[in-house]
A = this chain, B = another copy of it.
């Protein structure tokens, strides 16, 4: 078993809030992240897959192919977008990094399985001080 990780980046806007709460309640829970007119981040995404080595290529997976899959199914939908408004797989969820990691896992896992390897981890860095990791349910 070898683990291979691809890093991709996207810049997006979001805010954290619940429609059914008023501004004060939202600020109590989400702080500055609840400010009404959005803010944003340079998110860094790490996709880790695991699998057996293919002795013919020396690869677990063709990382160029892996990068194309991530770009087509994830980055193209997130980059320069608003996580609360524009992203089909984030509809009806709070745009937290945790929910984003789970949603990206759910998008990528069946597609990566088709390559004959397994998705191992989704890691998202929101800022240089905060990051989230998800290994599937």
Binding site for B on A (CB under 8 A): 1-9, 11-14, 16, 18, 29-33, 35, 37-42, 48, 53, 56-60, 62-64, 67, 79-82, 85-86, 93-96, 98-99, 101-102, 127-135, 137
A58 interface neighbour in B40, B99, B127, Cβ under 8 Å: B99
A53 interface neighbour in B5, B42, B48, B99, Cβ under 8 Å: B99
- A37 engages B82 (CB within 8 Å): yes
- A81 engages B37 (CB within 8 Å): yes
- B59 engages A1 (CB within 8 Å): no
- B130 engages A59 (CB within 8 Å): no
The interface centre, meaning the residue of A1, A3, A102 with most chain B CB atoms within 10 A of its CB, is A3
**Nearest residue in B to A122 (C-beta to C-beta)?**
B2
**Nearest residue in B to A63 (C-beta to C-beta)?**
B130
3 tightest A-B contacts by CB? A40-B40, A58-B96, A58-B94
Per the bound structure, the CA–CA distance linking A127 and B41 in Å amounts to 10
Per the bound structure, the CA–CA distance linking A60 and B59 in Å amounts to 33
- B37 engages A11 (CB within 8 Å): no
